[in-house]
Structure 1
Amino acid sequence: MGNFSYKDVYIEEGKRVLEINILKEKYCNFDCIFCPIGRSKNKVDTQISFDNIDASLIELGKTIESTKAELVFINSKGEALVNDKIGDIVDFIKGKGAAVRLLSNGYILGRDEYRKIANKCDEIVGEIKLITEETFQKVQRPIEGYTLEKYISNMAAFNKQYEGKFIFEITIIKGYNDDEESINKIKKVIRKISPDKIIIARMEDERFKKKLGISDERFEEISKLLLNN
């Protein structure tokens, strides 16, 4: 039996989508206080050597075939790019005739070794949550030396050379980035990155929703402002 885990296939824009997690536990370059997965015991931004994945690939192939998946969404426990087998996983999926979407927080897309892997994918999802350096450091607790400016620049530089579809997910958090000044800053970030698609999200996890969630009315208002940027 393989070490990957899956969610039920769903339909998105007419395509059958299979979500897959390729990490046994959380490996991430951030340690966000509101992460639904929990604390980052493995705080890394370099590739980690995982076990042989032959059994996992066999299982993945059977799953793609049995579900008739047209798009495989690599949405893992943390930063999927740190799995040293991810290049092989992407190649395997594409060899099965399915497209690949990869979720990355986006910070390490500025590095050549990760850019090469990401460039193989048909779709990349990058994301942003905090919009000031102070809150970025305090709330997302990145690896030492990371800056918000570099975070944004890495995604912008990646997308400039990327030939696939870049999806930019923005999470609106009450008290952190839901004010007018923050919205205007996010608009500037959108223009700099120039994504193909924008997703506006909010805190949905019940553990954080009460304190950090915003009202339906404000969410709709902000969504219109950002989507019509």
Structure 2
Amino acid sequence: MGDFSYKDIYVEDGKRVLEINILPEKYCNFDCIFCPIGRSQNKVDTQKSFNKIESSLIELESIIENTKPELIFINSKGEALVNDKIDDIINFIKGKGLPVRLFSNGYLLGRDEYMKIANKCDEVVGELKIITEEGFQKIQRPIEGYTLAKYISNMIAFNKQYKGKFIFEITIIKGYNDDEESIQRIKNIINKISPDKIIIARMEDERFRKKLGITDERFEKISNALLNI
């Protein structure tokens, strides 16, 4: 058995998607209070070595052969880019003739070493949750020295040079970015990043939905406002 973990194959836009986690536990550059995985005991933004990946790639190859996916989605416990074998993993998948989607919170995408890795992917997902500096520091609890302005500028810089499909996922959180002023700020950020696709999400986890979730009516109104700019 390898060290990767998988979700069951699902169909998205008519394609069979295999979702894969390449981290043994949570390694992230944020420590968001609402993270469904839990606290970040390993808050890092430099690459780390984990177990040898030979057995994991053998298992991945077998799963690909058995499930016949049409897209591999690297969506890990934290920031997948900190696995120092991610370049090899992407190359392995591409060698199978399959497109790769990478999920990243987006902060590292402006750094050259990570930009080169992400550029190999057919699709990259970046995200945004908190849109004030105070909220970013308090709620997402990033590595010391991180700023919201840099976070956004990293995604802008990445997408300016990226040739693939950049997907921008925005999570609407009650009391933090669901007011009209925040929605206008988000619109401005969308225009600066200029993503190929926008996904509007909200708190679905039962542990956080009561306090941080928004109503269906408000969610629909915000979604319409952001998806139609």
Structure 1 gap segments, 5+ residues each: none
Report the counterpart of residue 120 of structure 2 in structure 1.
120
SS of structure 2 residue aligned to 1:120: coil
Partners of 1:71 and 1:137 lie apart in 2 by 35
Contact 1:19/1:74 (<8 A) preserved:
yes
Partners of 2:73 and 2:216 lie apart in 1 by 28
Contact 2:124/2:167 (<8 A) preserved:
yes
**How many aligned positions are there?**
229
Q: Aligned-pair distance for 1:115?
A: 0.4
Report the counterpart of residue 84 of structure 1 in structure 2.
84
Counterparts of residues 1-229 of structure 1 (less than 5 Å): 1-229=1-229
Structure 2 gap segments, 5+ residues each: none
Contact 1:70/1:97 (<8 A) preserved:
no
Contact 2:10/2:17 (<8 A) preserved:
yes
Identity %: 81
Contact 2:110/2:155 (<8 A) preserved:
yes
TM-score by length of 1: 0.99
Q: Which structure 1 residue ranges, 4+ long, deviate > 2 Å from structure 2? A: none
SS of structure 1 residue aligned to 2:126: strand
Residues 115-170 of structure 1 show CA distances to partners (whole Å, capped at 9, x for unaligned) of 00000000000000000000000000000110000000000000000000000000
Q: Aligned-pair distance for 1:65?
A: 1.3
Partners of 2:207 and 2:134 lie apart in 1 by 23
TM-score by length of 2: 0.99
